[in-house]
Structure 1
Amino acid sequence: MEDVNLLSSAAVLRAIFDEKKDIYDVLKEFIMSSINSRNLKSFNSTELLQFIEEDFNFRLPEAIVKSCLKKRLVKEQLLTRQYGSYNTTSLSTNNTQFQEDFERSRCEYDDVITKLNAFCSKSGLKDINLRELEDCFERSLTRPDLSNKYSQCIAKFIVAFQHESGFTEKLRKIEEGLILYTGIRYSPDLSTLGCWKGSLTVFLDTEHLFNAVGYNGSLYKTLFDDFYNLTNEVNRSKKSGKIELKYFEETDREIESFFYSAINIVEKKASIDPSKTAMKNICNGCTSRSDVITKKAIFQDKLSKLKITKESNTDYYSNSKTNVESTSILESLCDELKETTVSEEQVSSVLKVFTKVNYLRNGSSKLSIDKVACIFLTESWLPQRIAFSDHVFDGNGSIPYATNIEFLTEKLWFKLHKGFGGSAQIPASFDPVIRAKLTLSNEVCKAISNIYRSLKDDFDLGNVSTETVARIHYEINKAPSKPEDISIDSISMSEAFLNDDYIEKVICEKNHLELEVIEGRKAKEELRKMKIREEKSRRIKYRNGANAVYLLSIIFFITLCSLPIAAAFYVATQSDTALSIFMAVFAIGCVIIPFWKKGDINKICHRWTKNYYRNAIRKYTQP
Structure 2
Amino acid sequence: MEDKYGKAASLALFKVLYNSGRCNNLLDIVSEFVRNAIVLRPREQYTTNDLKTIFCEQYGFDLPESVIKSAVRKLTKSGEFQKTNGVYTPNQDFSIRYKKSQSYLSEEIRSITEKQSYLFTQLYTFIETRTKSSLGSDDKQLIDQSFINILIGNSSNEDQFTPIISSFMVERGAILSDKDILNEIREGIILYQGITYSESMNEAEHWNNLTIFLATEHLFNAVGYNNRLYKDIFEDFISLVNQINSRNRGKGDTHIKLRYLEETREEVESFFRTAESILRGQIAYMRMTDAMGAILDGCQTPADVQQKKSRFELILRELGIEYFDFSHFELQKEYNISGLSILEQLEQQYKDNNRVYNEDETLKALDLFTKINTLRRGNSPHPIQSIRYIYMTANSTILYLSNQEIVKKKKSDTPFAIDIDLLTTLFWFSSSNVFHHIKNRDGHIPTSLDAITKAKRVLSSLLNETVENTYEKCLRDIKEGKITKEEATKLLANLKLFKSRNTEITEENASLILDVIQDSDTMQTTIEEDVSYYKNKTASLEEENEQYKEDRNKLLRENRDAHAKGKLQEDRLINFQAEDYAKKKFKKERIKVYKEVRAEMIIVFLCFLLFFLQQVPSISTYISTPMSIVICSLLAVVCQGLLWYYKKKRNNHQSICSPLLLLWTFTFQGYAKREDFKKYYIENKRREYK
TM-score interval, smaller chain: 0.7 to 0.9
What does residue 193 of structure 2 align with? 182
Q: Tell me the CA shift for residue 64 of structure 1.
A: 1.6
What does residue 491 of structure 1 align with? 510
1:67 equivalent to 2:81? Answer no
Give the SS at the match of 1:324: coil
Q: Tell me the CA shift for residue 269 of structure 1.
A: 2.3
In 2, Cα distance between the equivalents of 1:506 and 1:6? 37
What does residue 297 of structure 1 align with? 310
In 2, Cα distance between the equivalents of 1:490 and 1:426? 25
Q: Is the CA contact (8 Å cut-off) linking 1:438 and 1:483 kept in structure 2?
A: no
What does residue 173 of structure 2 align with? 162
1:180 is matched by which residue type in structure 2? Answer: L
1:398 equivalent to 2:408? Answer no
Give the SS at the match of 1:195: coil
In 2, Cα distance between the equivalents of 1:446 and 1:166? 32
- Identify the match of residue 110 of structure 2 among 75, 82, 103: 103
Give the SS at the match of 1:309: strand
1:138 equivalent to 2:168? Answer no
Higher helix proportion: 2
Q: Is the CA contact (8 Å cut-off) linking 1:223 and 1:429 kept in structure 2?
A: yes
1:455 equivalent to 2:456? Answer no
What does residue 26 of structure 2 align with? 23
Q: Is the CA contact (8 Å cut-off) linking 1:199 and 1:371 kept in structure 2?
A: no
Deviations 1:141-177 (A, max 9, x none): 2344423120011001101111224101111111111
Cα separation, partners in 2 of 1:36 and 1:481, compared to 1, 3 Å: farther
In 1, Cα distance between the equivalents of 2:484 and 2:55? 63
- Identify the match of residue 87 of structure 1 among 74, 86, 89: 89
Aligned positions of 1:401-550 closer than 5 A: 401-417=416-432, 418-419=434-435, 420-422=438-440, 423-459=442-478, 463-465=482-484, 467-480=486-499, 485-498=504-517, 499-501=519-521
1:54 is matched by which residue type in structure 2? Answer: E
Deviations 1:57-89 (A, max 9, x none): 222222222222223x22332233334333333
In 1, Cα distance between the equivalents of 2:162 and 2:343? 28
Q: Tell me the CA shift for residue 288 of structure 1.
A: 0.2
1:213 equivalent to 2:223? Answer yes
Deviations 1:398-442 (A, max 9, x none): 221112111111122223353233443211111111111111111
TM-score (norm 1): 0.76
What does residue 599 of structure 1 align with? none
1:235 equivalent to 2:245? Answer yes
Decide which moves more: 500-509 or 88-97: 500-509
Q: Tell me the CA shift for residue 481 of structure 1.
A: 6.6
In 2, Cα distance between the equivalents of 1:140 and 1:221? 20
Cα separation, partners in 2 of 1:297 and 1:49, compared to 1, 3 Å: same
Give the SS at the match of 2:100: coil
Aligned length: 507
Cα separation, partners in 2 of 1:424 and 1:360, compared to 1, 3 Å: farther
Q: Tell me the CA shift for residue 274 of structure 1.
A: 4.7
Give the SS at the match of 1:81: strand
In 1, Cα distance between the equivalents of 2:26 and 2:125? 37
- Identify the match of residue 365 of structure 2 among 350, 356, 360: 350
Gaps of 5+ in 2: 530-690
In 2, Cα distance between the equivalents of 1:187 and 1:151? 29
In 2, Cα distance between the equivalents of 1:275 and 1:7? 37
What does residue 248 of structure 1 align with? 261
Q: Is the CA contact (8 Å cut-off) linking 2:262 and 2:324 kept in structure 1?
A: yes
Q: Tell me the CA shift for residue 337 of structure 1.
A: 4.2
1:254 is matched by which residue type in structure 2? Answer: E
1:325 is matched by which residue type in structure 2? Answer: S
Q: Tell me the CA shift for residue 500 of structure 1.
A: 2.6
What does residue 620 of structure 1 align with? none
What does residue 2 of structure 2 align with? 2
Q: Tell me the CA shift for residue 181 of structure 1.
A: 1.2
1:172 equivalent to 2:183? Answer yes
In 1, Cα distance between the equivalents of 2:11 and 2:524? 45
Gaps of 5+ in 1: 510-623
Give the SS at the match of 1:488: coil
Q: Tell me the CA shift for residue 47 of structure 1.
A: 2.1
Give the SS at the match of 1:272: coil
In 2, Cα distance between the equivalents of 1:508 and 1:9? 45
In 2, Cα distance between the equivalents of 1:283 and 1:21? 53
In 1, Cα distance between the equivalents of 2:82 and 2:346? 49
In 1, Cα distance between the equivalents of 2:492 and 2:371? 40
1:311 equivalent to 2:311? Answer no
In 2, Cα distance between the equivalents of 1:353 and 1:486? 32
Deviations 1:185-207 (A, max 9, x none): 222422x4303142211100111
CA RMSD of the aligned region, Å?
A: 2.6
Q: Tell me the CA shift for residue 279 of structure 1.
A: 0.7
In 1, Cα distance between the equivalents of 2:205 and 2:110? 35
In 2, Cα distance between the equivalents of 1:336 and 1:482? 39
